[in-house]
Structure 1
Amino acid sequence: MNLKVVLPPVIIVVLGMGALSGVQNTGFREHIESTLTESAQGALSAAGLDGVDVSFAGRDADVTAPTDAEALAAADVVGGVEGVRAAAAYGPDGLVSPEDGAAEDGAAENDADTAEHAATEALAEATTSPEPTATPSDSETKDAGDDTKKDDDKKDEPRREPTREEREKAQEDLVEIPNITFVTDSARLTKDGRTVVKEAAEVLAEHLEVEVRVEGHTDSVGTEAHNQRLSERRAEAVVDELVELGVDRDRLTWKGFGESDPLVVPRTFADLEKNRRVEFDVTN
């Protein structure tokens, strides 16, 4: 049998079947997203949440609202729609977790308790004779003023420009950090992802002079526009987490590249995984 004659038709058939499968999968996914979007919007309207935007990537929803409270409420409604796998809430400042909402409620309760306690103390003070208060001496006032001035001067001090060796060492240490992982098709950090971001914060604490740009990259699955937005949200989520861990926000910038700068040419699932990444680029 002449392989030169047989192989070309076989290769063409295999490639054609692969392309057809991709088209079918894409069409099926778009149908699911369209159906779930319609159902979610109906559920939000029924719940009186008309000012909420909802979008789907597969069966996972991103819910965006004008306030954090509305975002959490809307995510809860959308998450209950049949067929929805997960719903992420986004407020005006980005991703909102249920813990954030609980913290806000707790803060409001604490404020109310504090106000009540202050009113009680004020009433008690009003019904008792005031005691003479000590007046600070001139020297104590001067010392306090000097300390405050020193603190202000320290804050106003410009950050020292790092040397080339310091920048290179910081870049080497950041490259050694493992890849940061997220929940599939979202900007939510996994447990391992948070651990890696903590490692990055520790590295940045060792190199206080450098400034860093956090760069988000995705694989090529999905639309280009969706991947661009996802990469931006992931980069911003890492910056927010670093700030929470004590890194000065003035040292950080972020940028999303979507699928435009793959690490490798995607031929396998392992290649796609390599292209989904967050990189740290020392900018000064």
Structure 2
Amino acid sequence: MNLKVVLPPVIIVVLGMGALSGVQNTGFREHIESTLTESAQGALSAAGLDGVDVAFAGRDADVTAPTDAEALAAADVVGEVEGVRASAAYGPDGLVSSEAAAAETATEEDTATEASPEATASPEPTATPSDDETAGDDAAGDAADAEEKDEPKREPTREEREKAQEDLVEIPNITFVTDSARLTKDGRKVVQEAAEVLAEHPEVEVRVEGHTDSVGTEAHNQRLSERRAEAVVDELVEQGVDRDRLTWKGFGESTPLVVPRTFADLEKNRRVEFDVTN
């Protein structure tokens, strides 16, 4: 059999089937996104959340609202829609965590309490402290403030920064649910390892950097890398790391580790890195 005669038609058929499959997959995904968007908007409207935007990437939803509390409530509503795999809440300052929503709710309750008649009623008469007692309290408070100001945060040495960076590099890659910022079970375990390393190096500050592979659009990958980096920061805070020590940044697909030629290469480029910044 002459391979020069047989191979070209075979190659053409294979390439044609691949192109047709790509077109079908793209059309199917767009149909799913359109259907889920319509269903999610209907559910939001029924819940009285008409001022909320919802956008889908596959079966994962990004829900954006004017306030953190509304965003979290809307994300819960969208997450219950049949066919939705994950729902992320975004407020005016970005990705919303449950801590931010709780703080916002507490602030609203405090404001309502201050404005209520009970809060503005005249207080019961209490004993007035003497001038000597007041002076003593003021002096103690001033001494405590002065002591706190006299103890600035210690800057880590170069050796401490280098050791922290070495320990963070040894941490395994953090994994997420496909095409979302939801940590997998193994991903949470790795973040816990990172929190333990940071506890061993309390003086250093770290930037969490998110990276994606090159599958999908640049804009989608950029947003996904930002969401994943911020999700890791939120998880570290829940593990006890001081948020003041952490910053985050997403790089999308712009800085791959390797040129993607195989699925293994794509997996290497999907990563979260820790960069010691001080």
TM interval, short-chain normalised: 0.7 to 0.9
1:267 counterpart (261, 266, 270):
261
> What is the aligned length?
272
How far residue 52 of structure 1 moved from its aligned partner, in angstroms, is 0.6
Report deviation, 1:10.
4.2
**Structure 2 Cα separation of the partners of residues 120 and 42 of structure 1:** 35
Distance 1:213 1:138, change over 3 A: same
Instruction: Write out the 4+ residue segments of structure 1 that deviate beyond 4 Å after TM superposition.
Output: 1-13, 92-104, 108-114, 119-141, 144-147, 151-158
CA RMSD in angstroms comes to 5.1
Q: Deviations over 1:190-227 (max 9, x none)?
A: 33322222211221122233222110012223222111
Contact 2:95 2:230 in 1 (8 A): no
Corresponding position of 1:158: 152
Q: Secondary structure at the match of 1:213?
A: strand
Shift of 1:157: 4.3
Q: How far is the alpha carbon of 1:13 from its aligned partner?
A: 4.4
Whether 1:102 and 2:93 are equivalent positions in the alignment is no
1:171 deviates by 1.2
- Structure 1 residues 31 and 199: CA distance shift in structure 2, 3 A: same
Q: Secondary structure at the match of 2:248?
A: strand
1:121-140 Cα offsets, whole Å, 9 max, x none, are: 99999999999999999999
Change (3 A) 1:184 1:163: same
Structure 2 counterparts to residues 232-243 of structure 1, below 5 A: 232-243=226-237
What is the distance in 2 between the residues matched to 1:101 and 1:78?
17
Tell me which moved more, 124-133 or 68-77. Answer: 124-133
What's 1:129 paired with?
122
Task: Give the structure 1 partner of residue 141 of structure 2.
Answer: none
- The CA deviation at 1:158 is 4.3
What is residue 244 of structure 2 aligned with on the other side? 250
Counterpart-to-counterpart distance in 2, 1:128 and 1:60? 50
Post-superposition offset of 1:166 = 2.3
* Distance verdict in 2 for CA 1:90–1:3, change over 3 Å: same
Q: In 2, distance between residues paired with 1:75 and 1:110? A: 21
Segments of structure 2 that go 5 or more residues without pairing to the other structure are: 139-144
Cα deviation for residue 154 of structure 1 reads 4.3
1:63-87 CA-to-partner distances (Å, cap 9, x unmatched) read: 2222344234323332343432333
Q: Name the CA shift for 1:240/1:76 in 2 (closer, same or farther; >3 Å).
A: closer
User: Shift of residue 235 of structure 1?
Assistant: 0.8
**Separation in 2, partners of 1:124, 1:35:** 49
Q: CA deviation at 1:110?
A: 14
Contact 2:209–2:274, Cα closer than 8 Å, also in 1: yes
TM-score (norm 2): 0.74
Say if 1:9 and 1:247 are closer, same or farther in 2 by CA, change over 3 A.
Answer: same
Percent identity over the alignment is 91
Q: 1:283 to 1:127 in 2, by over 3 A?
A: closer
1:260 Cα offset (Å): 1.7
What is the TM-score normalised by the length of structure 1? 0.73
Cα gap change, 1:206 to 1:102, in 2 (>3 Å): closer
Deviates more, 1:236-245 or 1:46-55: 236-245
Distance 1:140 1:244, change over 3 A: farther
1:11 maps to what in 2? 11
- Pick which of 159-168 and 119-128 moved more: 119-128
Q: Measure the CA separation in 2 of the matches of 1:60 and 1:152.
A: 51
- Describe the shift of the 1:229–1:202 C-alpha distance in structure 2 as closer, same or farther (beyond 3 A): same
Residue in structure 2 matching 1:146, options 129, 137, 143: 137
Inter-CA distance 11–168: structure 2 relative to 1 (3 Å threshold): farther
